[in-house]
Amino acid sequence: MEKRPFNELGLSDEILKAVDKMGFEEASPIQTAVIPAILSGRDVVGQSSTGSGKTAAFAIPAIERVDPKLRAVQVLILCPTRELAVQVAEEAGKLSLFKRGVMGVPIYGGQSYERQFRALAAGAQVVIGTPGRVMDHMERGTLKFDHLKLVILDETDRMLDMGFRDDIEHILKSVPATRQLLFFSATIPRPIQDLISRYSKDPAWIKIESVAQNAPQVEQIYFEVDRRSKIEALTRLIDVHDFRYGIIFCSTKIMVDDLDEHLHSRGYLTDRLHGDITQAQRDRVMDKFRHRGFEFLVATDVAARGLDVDDLEVVFNFDLPNDAEDYTHRIGRTGRAGKSGRAFTFVSGQEIYKLQGMVRWAKLNVKRGTIPSLDEVEEARTSVFFEKIRATLEAKQFKPHDRMIDRLLDQGYASTDICSVLIHLLQGGTGGSAGGPPAPAKAKPAKSAPAWAKQAMTPKAAPEPAPAPTEPAGERPALPAKKAKYARPARTGREAGMATLCLNIGLEHLVTPADVVGKIAGVTRLPADVVGAIDLHERHLLVDVRAEHAALIAKKLEGIKLKGVTLTAKPASAQDKG
Ligand code: ADP
Ligand code: MG
C-alpha cells in the first residue's frame, strides 16, 4: 500500500514535469510498485482495482523506454474498446508532452485506415489499439513489429470477456520473442492466468489489495424494491440526496431507452449510451457527460466500459449487474481520487440471493437501505429550497421589488405573511380570487392515487391506503410538489378538448404558473385562455393546452429559455402524469 513521490522512481525530468503538470502529487500504490519493475525490464502482471491509476503505471515506463530517434513501433498497448484506446492515448499524450520525438497513435475500428496509416508511416512509436484493428493493420502490412520492445494488455479481463482471446494470442505470437510483456487487470481469472503462464517469462506479480485505505470511499447500499417501483425509488433517492452527477446502469438497451425517457420527462437531465447508438453519437454523449452537460448517464455495462469520468456522486445499479466483477467495475466509477461516492443497488425479488452471493464472493461491504418516504423527500426538498433562498439573499442576486412590498406593508400585512404567500405561490399554490396575475389552475375532481403511487417500496410492506382527497375541488393543494410528484390525483378530470404537454422546468427553477402562461402567450401570440391547468413538479411541469394548438405551442416553446432553462416540450406520457 506504499506510495512514493514520482521523483523517487527513477524517472526522467521530462516525465516528472509532465506528471507535475497533470497535477499528480505522488504515485499511487500500483504506480509505486509497478514503474520500477517495468523499468528494470521484467515482465509484469499488475492487478489493482478500477481507478487506481493503472494507465500511468504502464504508460510512464513505456514512454521512458521509447527511443525517440527510432521511428518505428516500439510499444503496443491493447485495449478492449475504442473509448479506452482513445483515453489511454490521451493520457500517454499528456505524459509524453515534454518528450521530444515521442509519438503515439490510437488505432481502432470506425476511423479511416488512411488516417491511422499516415500516423504509423510518420513513425509513431507507441500504438494503442483494439485487438481487431491491430490485426487488420498487421495483415495489411501497415503495422510492423520488428522493433517492438513492449506489449501491454490493459483491462485484460475485459478483453477476454469480449472474446478477444484468439486475436490476442495471434498478436502475441507475431511479436518478437524478446519483447517485454505486461498484463494489467482488475481481476485475474483462470483464462488470464493461462495467458500469463503461456506468454510471460517469470513475471513480477504485483497485486495491490486496495479497498481499505487507498481505494475509493464508496458507500454501498442496496434497496429491495418492487420491480414496478424502481423509477419512483430512483427519483426519490436522487431528490433526497440532491444528486447532480451520476451513472445509472441498466441491463438492457430497452431498459436504458425506457428509463432515459422517463427520467427526461420528469425533468432530470439525462442521456443514454448503449450498443445501438452510433459511434459519433456516443462520442458526443460521453464528451458532454464528461463536461457535465447533463446530470445522469443511463447506460449498459458494455457502453459505459472504459468511460473515464471523475467525481461522480453516485452510481445506481438500477438493474443488478451480472456478477461481482461487473459490480466492482460499475461502482469503481464513483469515489475516485479519495473523494467519497455512493453506489446504490436495486434488487427485486429473488435477486437478493444473487447479491448475497456476490457479497460473499467478493467480500463486498453493502448495507441495506430503505427508500425515503414521501415526507423525507419533501423535507429534503424544502431544505434545498431554503438553501436556495438563503444563497440568493447572500449573493444579492435578485431584483428588488420594494414598491410592491411597501404597498402590501402599508396595507397592514405582516412581512412574514407576505413571504409565506410568495412561497405558497412559488410552490404552485393558488392565489385568492381577486383577479391579478393569471392563476390558471382549474378545477380538478380529486381521484384516488394511481396504482404505482400506492405501491409500497419494499415487497413485504402492506400497501398504503390511497391519500384522502383533502382539498375541496377547485383548490390546488397548498404544497402540490409532494402530492403532485408522488401521489397526485390522476389527471382524468381534464377538460375535453385539452392536451397535456410536459415541460422540463419545475419548482426547483422557481417557475410559477404565471411564468408559463405568460411565456406561452408571448411566443404563440395566442390568448392566455388556451392554457388550462398547470401541475408543477420538482423538475418538470404538466400544462394543459387547447388540443388544436398543442403542436404549435410545443414547437414554439422548444429550445427557448425560461428562468435560464432551455425548454423541451413534449406530449405528456402516462408516466409523467404518474
Ligand atoms: P485504472 O486504469 O486503474 O482504472 P486510471 O489509470 O484510469 O485507473 O486512473 C484513474 C484516474 O486517476 C485518472 O483520472 C487518472 O488521471 C488519475 N490518476 C492516475 N494516477 C494518479 C496519481 N498518481 N495522482 C492523482 N491522480 C491520478
Ligand atoms: Mg484502466
From the alpha carbon of 50, which atom of ligand 1 is closest? 4
53: left (phi over 0), alpha (psi -120 to 50) or beta: left
DSSP code for 433: S
| Cβ–Cβ < 8 Å for 130, 78 | yes
Residue that the C-alpha cell 513521490 belongs to: 5
* Separation CA 408–CA 406 (nearest Å): 5
Which ligand is in closest contact with the Cα of 336? 1
Backbone dihedral region of 474: left (phi > 0), alpha (psi from -120 to 50 degrees) or beta?
Answer: left
Residue ranges and CATH numbers for the domains of the chain are 6-207 (3.40.50.300), 218-372 (3.40.50.300), 376-577 (3.30.70.330)
What is the position in ligand 1's atom list of the atom closest to the CA of 91?
16
The residue with cell 382527497 is 469
Say yes or no: CB of residue 443 within 6 Å of ligand 1. Answer: no
pLDDT digits (tens, 9 = 90+) for 540-550: 899 999 999 99
569 grid coordinates: 416540450
β partners of residue 135? none
Residue 103 or residue 365, greater confidence: 103
What distance in Å separates the CA atoms of residue 54 and residue 48, rounded to the nearest whole number? Answer: 8
State if residue 308 touches ligand 1 by the CB under 6 angstroms criterion: yes
Find the mean pLDDT for residues 186-207: 93
Q: Is the CB of 24 under 6 A from ligand 1?
A: yes
Q: Is the CB of 337 under 6 A from ligand 1?
A: yes
Q: How far is CA 503 from the centre of its chain?
A: 22
Decide: 214 in ligand 1 pocket, CB within 6 A. Answer: no
Structure confidence at residue 109 as a pLDDT band (50, 70, 90): confident
Q: Which ligand is nearest to the CA of 154?
A: 2
More confident call, 27 vs 306: 27
Give the residue, out of 9, 308, 311, with the most ligand 1 atoms within 8 A of its beta carbon, to mutate for a pocket test: 308
Ligand found nearest the CA of 46: 1
CA angle 527, 529, 533 (to 5 degrees): 140
pLDDT-derived band at 487 (thresholds 50, 70, 90) equals: very low
Q: Among 138, 243, 232, which residue's Cα sits nearest to residue 452?
A: 232
Query: What pLDDT was estimated at residue 575?
Result: 66
Helix (H, G, I), strand (E, B) or coil at 276: coil
Per residue in 454-463, pLDDT (tens digit) is: 333 333 333 3
Rounded mean pLDDT, 48-64: 91
For the segment 241-280, what is each residue's pLDDT rounded down to a tens digit? Answer: 989 999 999 999 999 999 999 998 888 899 999 888 888 8
Report the candidate in 245, 358, 309 with the shortest Cα–Cα distance to residue 51: 309
Termini Cα distance of the chain:
50
Q: What angle do CA 509, 511, 516 make, to 5 degrees?
A: 135
pLDDT at 338 over 70: no
State whether the beta carbon of 156 lies less than 6 angstroms from ligand 1: no
d(Cα 31, Cα 175) in Å, to the nearest integer? 26
* Residue 329 Cα to ligand 1 middle (Å): 14
- Residues 481, 425: Cα–Cα separation, whole Å: 12
Q: Please name every residue paired with 273 in a beta bridge, in sequence order, or none if there are none.
A: 299
Residues 6 or more apart whose Cβ sits within 8 Å of residue 131: 78, 159, 164, 167, 168, 171
In this structure, which residue's CA is closest to atom 18 in ligand 1? Answer: 53
157 CA to centre of ligand 1 in angstroms? 19
- Please give the model's pTM, rounded to 2 decimal places: 0.48
Query: 23 alpha carbon to ligand 1 midpoint, in Å?
Result: 11
CA of 49 to the centre of ligand 2 (A): 9
Q: Is 32 in the pocket of ligand 1 (CB under 6 A)?
A: no
Cell numbers for 403, please give them: 414598491
| Residue 533: exposure state from Cβ atoms within 10 A (0-12, 13-18, ≥19) | buried
Query: Whose C-alpha lies nearest to ligand 1, atom 16?
Result: 53
110 confidence band (pLDDT: 50, 70, 90): confident
Report how far residue 82's alpha carbon sits from residue 79's, in angstroms, rounded to the nearest whole number. 8
3-state secondary structure of 49: coil
The conformation of residue 295, written as its DSSP 8-state character, comes to S
Q: How far is the CA of 181 from the centre of ligand 2 (A)?
A: 17
Longest pairwise C-alpha distance within the chain:
93
Other beta carbons less than 10 A from residue 524's beta carbon: 17
